[in-house]
Amino acid sequence: MVKLTMIARITDGLPLAEGLDDGRDQKDADFYKQQAKLLFKNLSKGHYEASRMSIETGPYYFHYIIEGRVCYLTMCDRSYPKKLAFQYLEDLKNEFERVNGNQIETAARPYAFIKFDTFIQKTKKLYMDTRTQRNLAKLNDELYEVHQIMTRNVQEVLGVGEKLDQVSEMSSRLTSESRIYADKAKDLNRQALIRKWAPVAIVLGVVMVLFWVKTKIW
């Protein structure tokens, strides 16, 4: 069963539309919405490979397709057939492109196509029950191939960006620390020098003073 539907522009992660009362009677809806938004952010940074992907998160799957710089994402139960989920997204995509295709690039405000939610709502209802004749037929239809779609874990996907960040942070920390180390080494070197020669210098100084005093008085 479809839990969440979101459509966003991939170039900047701007949300374009969202299913209306998604998340009804679901307490953790906000958490998964947040995750989906993170996903969009990652996608907009360019951390993505496939145009179709399934991502497992908790008891659910995110399925998304990316087409024409728009990402169509839905969240379903694990038990929900992948094939239907992608069919659903495919339907949304076709309609969305038909209705708003030419304005996608120019949309300037978030949820510019919120009116699309009525269609999302209607389509969602069609896919609600996997056992309807229509959906069974779709399931049996071999034309649409979903086997090669990759499945990954959400931590992995969201982690890609994080890991890169970590590496760069570590390396930058390394450079700064090595610089500190060099400075400290220089400092130590100088201190050692002082410690070595200071007594000699003092003795010499005293002798010189004595000499000077001696020549002055006598």
Partner 1 sequence: MQPMGNDKPIPGRPTSPFSAAPPVSSPFLSSGPVVGSEKTAATPLLTPFSSGTQATGYRMPAPPPTRFNGPFTPTQPPSFHPTQDAATYQQTQAPRFPPPSQPATPLRGPPVANSVGSFQPQPQVPTFRMSPPHPPAVQSPPGSNIPPPHFLGPRPGPQSPFQTLSASQASPHFRASPYIAQQGVIPPPPIGPPLGVGSREQMPFPHIGQQHVGGGPMQGLVEEFQSLSVGSIPGSLDSGIDAKSLPRPLDGDEEPRILESYPLNCHLRFLRLTTHTVPSSQSLLARWHLPLGAVVTPLAEVPEGEEVPIVNFGTAGVVRCRRCRTYINPYVTFTDAGRKWRCNLCSLLNDVPAEYYCALDATGRRLDIDQRPELSKGSVEFVAPTEYMVRPPMPPSYFFLIDVSVAAVQSGLLEVVATTIKSCLDGLPGSPRTQIGFLTFDSTLHFHNLKSSLSQPQMMVVADLDDVFLPLPDDLLVNLSDSRHVVDAFLDSLPSMFQNSANVESASGPALKAAFMVMSQLGGKLLVFQSTLPSLGIGRLRLRGDDPRVYGTDKEHTLRIPEDPFYKQMAAEFTKHQIAVDIFAFSEKYSDIASLGSLAKYTGGQVYHYPAFQAATHHEKLRYELARDLRRETAWEAVMRIRCGKGVRFTTYHGHFMLRSTDLLALPAVDCDKSFAMQLSLEDTLMTTQTVYFQVALLYTSSSGERRIRVHTAAAPVVTDLSEMYRQADTGAIVSVLSRLAVENTLSHKLEDARQLMQLKLVKSLKEYRTLYAVQHRLGGRFIFPDSLKFLPLYILSLCKSAALRGGYADVLLDERCATGYSMMILPITRMLKLLYPGLYRIDEILTKGTDNLDESLKPLALTSQCLDARGLYIYDDGFSFVIWLGRMLSPDIVNSILGVDLSSFPDLSRDNNISRRMMRILKALREKNRSSYQLCRIIRQDEQPREGFLLLNNLIEDQTPGSSTFVDWILQIYRQSQSS
Contacts with partner 1, residue ranges (CB under 8 A): 12, 14-15, 17-18, 20-21, 24, 108-111, 114-115, 117-118, 121-122
Query: DSSP letter at 114?
Result: G
- CB of 126: closest distance to partner 1 in angstroms? 12
Pairing of strands 15-18, 2-9: antiparallel
Lookup: tokens for 53: 């992907």
- CB of 198: closest distance to partner 1 in angstroms? 52
Residue that the structure tokens 């120019």 belong to: 106
197/164 Cα distance (integer angstroms): 50
- CB of 110: closest distance to partner 1 in angstroms? 4
181/177 Cα distance (integer angstroms): 6
Q: Are 86 and 149 in contact (CB under 8 A)?
A: yes
SS3 content of the chain, % helix, strand, coil (to 5): 55, 15, 25
Given the complex with partner 1, which of 24 and 147 has the nearer CB atom? Answer: 24
Given the complex with partner 1, which of 23 and 159 has the nearer CB atom? Answer: 23
Given the complex with partner 1, which of 3 and 83 has the nearer CB atom? Answer: 3
Helix axes 154-217, 29-44, angle to 10 degrees: 70
How large is the greatest C-alpha to C-alpha distance in the chain, in angstroms? 126
Given the complex with partner 1, which of 53 and 104 has the nearer CB atom? Answer: 104
- CB of 209: closest distance to partner 1 in angstroms? 60
Given the complex with partner 1, which of 86 and 96 has the nearer CB atom? Answer: 96
Given the complex with partner 1, which of 26 and 155 has the nearer CB atom? Answer: 26
- CB of 115: closest distance to partner 1 in angstroms? 6
- CB of 22: closest distance to partner 1 in angstroms? 9
**Which amino acid makes up residue 68?**
G
